Amino acid sequence: MTSNLSPKKKRFCDFIINFSKKNKRSPIFKEIMNGLNINSLGTINWYVRELEKAGVLKRTKGFNGKRALSIIEENDTNSLPLLGIIAAGYPLESVENHEKIEVPLSYAKPGNYVLRVRGDSMIDDNIQDGDYIIVNKRSNANPGDTVVAIVNEEATLKKYYPKSDKIELHPRNPEYDIINVYPEDRFQINGTILFSFRHYK
């Protein structure tokens, strides 16, 4: 869909696509201004309105709409299972259900699923209460990955740091403590985070 745009509009869309892939979130307006050397917020708003009218861009609704821009690719209407709620705070049991939620086509792949975030322990990674995360189901992770971890039958979203004698699950909010997982604890990784977004209509 972006191939039919003017060069300037295509550049605007390409920036949002590349930024989102690199940072695992949509850019805020100020980041678009800096990235494209645009000095006027009105110009950003004009691009957004025009691209929305063209059906190329959509602004997902949340309390901070500026971080909810996504480019609609051709056939970009697919879904993943929404498997429940994950705690970005202290562990909370995740409850499976059969609801589906629309996601960008590039993430709608076998082995991926969606969880809704509850809590604010990951806010320094721009993951806020009420956000959705796309997770790749896997049982291992690299140090520093953000993982869906099951600790003694409870699920939580944290940064994963294995140590010689334990595993540390780090929040991204200084108000929360590190969760220490010892050999006697029941622990497993249920996936690593690929992308986070606000609410898709």
pLDDT in tens, 29-65: 889 999 999 999 999 989 988 887 777 777 764 434 4
Rounded average pLDDT over 165-179: 96
Structure tokens given for 125: 């990674």
Pair 54, 84 in one domain? no
pLDDT on residue 139: 93
Q: What gap in Å lies between CA 199 and CA 201, rounded to an integer? A: 6
Question: Which residue matches tokens 């796309």?
Answer: 134
Cβ contact 176:121 at 8 Å: yes
Q: What mean pLDDT is predicted for residues 192-198? A: 89
Q: Are residues 96 and 53 in the same domain?
A: no
The answer on 160 and 66 residing in a single domain is: no
Just list the catalytic residues: 121, 158
Residues 6+ apart with CB under 8 A from 113: 80, 81, 82, 83, 134, 135, 137, 191
87 and 41 within one domain: no
Does 125 have pLDDT greater than 80? yes
Average pLDDT, the chain: 82
